[in-house]
Amino acid sequence: MDLHVSASVYASNNQIEVTWTPTLVPCSDDFIGIYFVEIPRPTGACDYFDYEFVQTNQTSMWWQMVNLRRPLEFRYYSRDHNCSGNYSFAAISPVVQPLNYNEPTQLHLAYGDRIDQMFVSFVTNSSSYIPQCQYGLDPSSLEWQMNGTTVTYTASDMCEGKANTWGPQTFIDPGFMHTILLNSLRPSTTYFYRVGTDEHGWSSIFSFTNRPVNEDSEVTLIAYGDMGLSPVELGAKSTIDRVRARVMSTNITCLLHIGDISYARGIGALWDAFMTQVEPIASHVPYMVGIGNHEYDHVTGGEKDPSGAPGPGGFRPACFDVGPIHIVYYSTEHDFRHSSPQYAWLEGDLRSVNRSRTPWLIVGSHRHMYTSELENPVDLIKLMLQLYLEPLFYKYHVDVNFYAHRHSYERSCPMYQNKCVDDGITQVLIGMAGQDLDSSTYSGAEWSLYHDQQYGYTQVWANRTYLHFTYYHNADDAIVDQFTLNK
Ligand SMILES: [Fe+2]
């Protein structure tokens, strides 16, 4: 049996069709996988980068390509002994490889500290040339240019196995990550840009609209947590498809992904796949991420984790203004007790918010402060968040607290310490973006105004006096819960 491919070269996010003439009736777990060419064929069945099961009478399948900066091939593996034995290598495709090993891939945007700044980042296979971003107000005239910087990491930088062991399902060379900081951007202005170098080639031209500067503006945010990537998680695909359509059709100011981002869990290539999948979103609106427990999976080797150290590159609690909203990300993966540096930083930031300039105050983190799902045992970090941070947020009149970690959606009344109060915080659990779903039963807590366990995403629209929150199901893109707050 031969596997044929529709192209021998590809660019990131291209589709390649694999076709074959069936010569055997497949077992239910026969599969076609995509492999690094150096993986041994007879013994390497399980060393795929990705795979899909073969159905009876199937003769073709489509693959969305991730530029892993190396030659790849498709292989068909079939189970021996009437589908009860080991996998045997049955067929192979011609080698497919990136048209450009230094294609700018994984483009994404993030806010800088200042309102006139934007970070533009991408990945290639080389650090030989200074990365550049050409940008302007007209796609036919990218009149300005900024240079950036390049970093990478090696297996020895990772804390522990499997992240520091080479292999298609462990560490792979991540390429080189380039970041360019654009300055002096005008507010509420659309810029067109491309990244790359003359030597290695340029990306397509993308666009973003910088955030508004004044408190009388209106903004629209998308928010979720716990997504992962497709096809590993089908829910992630439905979120990416819905959010991508919304970002293309609506004026979205930025996106908040509050932790548990790719679920790579030490499989380096899944970061390439995740960043490739979100590129259509993240190249168009700033993709602002917070840390979750799956960005912090190691249990040994923590001395290599830069986030506990004062040097560059470590995790910092982050805050930023988007129009009339001040947003603070804090970390539930680092100490937040009264004596911690994070608590001091958080209080300092909350105290300094000018509520006449940013009337709305939204905080976000990964782990939940509340859920009415019955937990056994009760989550201790939840109780610690209620003990240490809820009084702080109440004192500084936080409007909305976003979190995830539980894979479900739940929205409270304005509340404080388990009770609805007029001047309380609206607690919103938004961990329903793709990484499977909870099935726990609910306690019937009085503060819980709506909850469900479906895939979806949320949106916040705000001007200086009015905030409208909506929760959408991916299945039909319909609004299933909403609330408004007024100043
Ligand atoms: Fe989590």
How confident is the model over 27-49, as a mean pLDDT?
Answer: 93
pLDDT of residue 214: 74
Question: What per-residue confidence (pLDDT) applies to 87?
Answer: 94
**253 alpha carbon to ligand 1 midpoint, in Å?**
25
- Residue pLDDT, tens place only, 347-394: 999 999 999 999 999 999 999 999 999 999 999 999 999 999 999 999
Mean pLDDT for 255-277 is 94
pLDDT of residue 24: 78
Q: Per-residue pLDDT for 22 more than 90?
A: no
* pLDDT tens-digit readout, 62-104: 999 999 999 999 999 999 888 999 999 999 999 999 999 999 9
Question: What value does the mean pLDDT of the chain take?
Answer: 94
> How far apart are the CA of 187 and the centre of ligand 1, in A?
34
* H helix intervals, 185-233: none
Res 161: pLDDT: 83
> In one letter, which amino acid is 188?
S
Contact 136, 49 (CB under 8 A): no
CA 452 – CA 348 distance, rounded (Å) = 35
- Cα(100) to ligand 1 centroid in Å equals 36
pLDDT at 306: 72
Q: Which pLDDT score is estimated for 314?
A: 57
pLDDT value of residue 393: 98
Residue 318 is predicted with a pLDDT of 81
The whole-number pLDDT of residue 198 equals: 97
- State the distance from the centre of ligand 1 to the C-alpha of 293, rounded, in angstroms: 5
Closest CA to 364 of 449, 427, 306, 312: 427
- Counting residues of the chain whose pLDDT is more than 90, the rounded percentage is 85
Q: Say how many Å lie between the CA of residue 15 and the centre of ligand 1.
A: 32
Q: Which residues contact 78 (CB under 8 A, 6 or more apart)?
A: 24, 26, 27, 30, 87, 88, 90
- What's the gap in Å between 427 CA and the centre of ligand 1? 17
CA of 297 to the centre of ligand 1 (A): 10
- What does the pLDDT average to over 266-274? 94
Euclidean distance between CA atoms 433 and 230, whole angstroms: 12
Which structural domains are found in the chain, ordered by start?
4-98 (2.60.40.10), 105-164+173-208 (2.60.40.380), 220-486 (3.60.21.10)
**Whole-Å CA distances, 115 to 1, 189, 293, 315, 449:** 58, 12, 29, 21, 36
> Which of 68-77, 114-123, 210-219, 467-476 is predicted least confidently?
210-219
- What are 177's strand-pairing partners? 123, 151
The β-bridge partners of 321 are 326
Ligand 1 centre and the CA of 216: distance in Å? 36
pLDDT score recorded for residue 310: 45
The residue among 45 and 315 whose pLDDT is bigger is 45
The Cα 7–Cα 4 span in angstroms is 9
Q: CA angle at residue 403 from 326 to 451, to 5 degrees?
A: 120
- C-alpha of residue 357 to centroid of ligand 1, in Å: 33
DSSP string, 33-93: EEEETTS-TTT-TT--SEEEEPPTT--EEEEE----SS-EEEEEEEEHHHHTS-EEEEEEP
If you average pLDDT over residues 101-124, what whole number do you get? 97
CA of 333 to the centre of ligand 1 (A): 10
Neighbours of 182 (CB within 10 A): 21
411-421 confidence digits (pLDDT tens): 999 999 999 99
pLDDT, tens only, 307-334 = 764 444 556 668 899 999 999 999 998 8
Q: What pLDDT shows up at residue 309? A: 44
Q: How far is the CA of 258 from the centre of ligand 1 (A)?
A: 9
Give distance in angstroms: CA of 114 to centre of ligand 1.
30
Q: How confident is the model at residue 303 (pLDDT cuts 50, 70, 90)?
A: confident
Q: How confident is the model at residue 316, as a pLDDT?
A: 63
